[in-house]
Amino acid sequence: MERKPFRILAIAGSLRQGSFNQGLLRAAKEVAPEWVEVQFFDIGQLPFFNEDVEAAGDPEPVRRFKDAIATSNAVLIATPEYNGVVPGVLANALDWASRPTGRSVLRNKPVALMGAVLGQSGSANAQAALRGVLGRIGAIVVPDPQVLVPRASRLFNENVDLHDERTREEIRQLVEAVAHWCRRVQPEEPVGTQSVTAP
């Protein structure tokens, strides 16, 4: 029987055009094995989380976001840190995805983290904070390898393509780790959000 592709939903914690973190995600798609599909979701299209808006029904971009998570085998987040924490745009996306509490599409969803910053931390603080948030939501954060990219500007060319072979190899190992790890802990195919809300 033919093996279904393993689907990874890629999310960047930076919206800017020349984002190094978006560059990390493009590199992940390039280095992924041929049986792994990497799809991007632009969290910039999500509105600010507001419980009143939520009570009236999830807006269309939020529904698409939740469905994209639900139908993916795993999520890959690449994020900078802003002032030592998770950028607001990513925190906002996770707020939407965390709902309804206890029945989030991220529950039991494997999530892999990486991040690039201009400073020395390599995004370690943001990743540590994310582990806490994702753990609270009930996602399963893949323990390793850690991909921390400090002083990111030296590793990308003018098209924001990652040219550093060592970092590309780290990303390849992370993608393989999440895929192999998932196949062990989550042998079944993911299903859409309907199954999450079905009685």
Ligand X SMILES: Cc1cc2nc3c(=O)[nH]c(=O)nc-3n(C[C@H](O)[C@H](O)[C@H](O)COP(=O)(O)O)c2cc1C
Closest CB to ligand X among residues 105, 152? 152
Please report whether residue 156 would count as binding ligand X according to CB under 6 A.
no
Closest CB to ligand X among residues 4, 16? 16
Closest CB to ligand X among residues 14, 104? 14
Q: Find the part of the chain contacting ligand X (CB under 6 A) among 48-56, 81-89, 164-172, 175-183.
A: 81-89
**What b/e readout covers 7-18, taking b as 16+ CB neighbours within 10 angstroms?**
bbbbbbbbeeee
Minimum CB separation from ligand X for residue 181, in Å? 25
Indicate the residue whose CB is closest to ligand X: 119
Among 10, 21, 25, 93, binds ligand X (CB under 6 A): 21
Minimum CB separation from ligand X for residue 124, in Å? 10
Minimum CB separation from ligand X for residue 118, in Å? 4
Written as one letter, the residue type at 129 is A
User: What residues does 156 pair with on adjacent strands?
Assistant: 162
Closest C-alpha among 156, 155, 153, 168 to residue 114: 168
Closest C-alpha among 38, 41, 54 to residue 11: 41
3-class state of residue 170 by DSSP: helix
Task: Give the x/- contact pattern for ligand X in 1-20, rule: CB under 6 A.
Answer: -------------x-x--xx
DSSP secondary structure string for all residues of 29-76: HHHS-TTEEEEEE-GGGSPPP-HHHHHT---HHHHHHHHHHHTSSEEE
Closest C-alpha among 166, 159, 79, 68 to residue 115: 79
And the tokens for 46?
């999500």
Among 30, 118, 180, 183, binds ligand X (CB under 6 A): 118
Please report whether residue 84 would count as binding ligand X according to CB under 6 A.
yes
Please report whether residue 25 would count as binding ligand X according to CB under 6 A.
no
Q: Find the part of the chain contacting ligand X (CB under 6 A) among 51-59, 64-72, 115-123, 139-147.
A: 115-123
Please report whether residue 121 would count as binding ligand X according to CB under 6 A.
yes
Alpha carbon distance 7, 106 (integer Å) = 15
Positions that interact with ligand X (CB under 6 A): 14, 16, 19-21, 80-84, 117-119, 121
